[in-house]
Amino acid sequence: MSDSDAVKPLTIAERLRYIGEAIPFFLAMGFFRLLGIDGASAVGGFIGRQIFYRIRPVMDRARENLRAAYPDMQPAEMEKIIREMCDNLGRTVAEYPHLDKLTITGTNPRLQVSGKEFADAAIARGKGMMFISGHFANWEAMPVTATQLGYEGGLVYRPPNNPYVDRYISRMRASAGPKVQIGKGAQGTRKIFTMLRRGLCVLLLVDQKTEQGVMAPFFGRPAPTTPAARCASGTA
């Protein structure tokens, strides 16, 4: 279930544009589904390294950020990091049809869990709990793992601009992770506090820029970030 702020109805032109954008996406997802998770991940990594890596405007921004954070970094090391980032992005996208295979048990577990005792202790206190991470590796692994461990709650996400793509990704998440999906925004923030007061879990990836946040030092530069974790810790 996706829970985001109300949006305006799509115009005919917008609907046609989004459908046109979604068709190649769905074709790609069907292709990745046929390959199986290992094949899809390998092909996605190849696409990331060979195609995503060559999208200049986006990669130039990555270069600018790396230069700002690490002014002494050598060009070869910088390109290696960016190419590996693209590899990871390609693998993550290609693995969306296979989120149900990211398991922690069974004959072929793909995820490992450590520190479960700390989460269990927090749950035992009867208060809400927040799992916080960033966009590392396959960032969908956190909500999938929490669900398999039996932690009831919801995840916070930024809906893609394309509503048809959003519905697909939300459905894939719900097939393996929390059914409750909270869109960012004022309504989503209220939902977060409601869930925490009920003693449920909220899962967030908080490493992205936010327009309505607080300024925090990041590699020597001020960057707007969400205060949700700090604010919620005083109310849960």
231 — pLDDT class (breaks 50, 70, 90): low
Neighbours of 159 (CB within 10 A): 20
Residue type, 146: A
Structure confidence at residue 4 (pLDDT): 46
CB contact at 8 A, 199 and 232: no
CB contact at 8 A, 96 and 169: yes
In this predicted structure, which of 78-82, 93-97, 109-113 has the lowest mean pLDDT? 109-113
Q: Which long-range contacts (CB under 8 A, 24 or more apart) does 210-216 make?
A: 210/184
- The pTM of the full predicted model, rounded to 2 decimals, is 0.83
User: pLDDT digit string (tens) for 38-92?
Assistant: 999 999 999 999 999 999 999 999 999 999 999 999 999 999 999 999 999 999 9
1 — pLDDT class (breaks 50, 70, 90): very low
Sort residue 214 into left (φ over 0), alpha (ψ -120 to 50) or beta. Answer: beta
User: What number is the average pLDDT over the span 6-23?
Assistant: 87
* Percent above pLDDT 90 for the chain: 52
CB contact at 8 A, 110 and 184: no
75-94 vs 56-69: helix crossing angle, rounded to 10? 130
Domain count, the chain: 1
Q: Containing domain of residue 44, as a range?
A: 2-233
CB under 8 Å to 170, separation ≥6 — which residues?
A: 2, 159, 181
What is the DSSP annotation of 111-149?
-----HHHHHHHHHTTS-EEEEE-S-SSTTHHHHHHHHT
Tokens linked to 194: 């409601």
- Give how far the C-alpha of residue 131 lies from the chain's centroid of Cα atoms, to the nearest Å: 13
Structure confidence at residue 10 (pLDDT): 83
* Percent above pLDDT 70 for the chain: 91
CA-CA distance, 44 to 64, in Å (whole number)?
Answer: 25
**CA nearest 116: which of 152, 150, 154, 155?**
150
User: pLDDT digit string (tens) for 144-165?
Assistant: 999 999 999 999 888 888 999 9
- Give how far the C-alpha of residue 230 lies from the chain's centroid of Cα atoms, to the nearest Å: 20
User: What number is the average pLDDT over the span 141-145?
Assistant: 92
- C-alpha distances (whole Å) from 178 to each of 94, 166, 210, 232 are 20, 15, 23, 20
Higher pLDDT, 107 or 113: 113
Q: Is the pLDDT of residue 236 over 50?
A: no
User: pLDDT digit string (tens) for 24-47?
Assistant: 999 999 999 999 999 999 999 999
Mean pLDDT for the chain overall? 87
User: What number is the average pLDDT over the span 13-23?
Assistant: 94
Q: Is the pLDDT of residue 212 over 80?
A: no
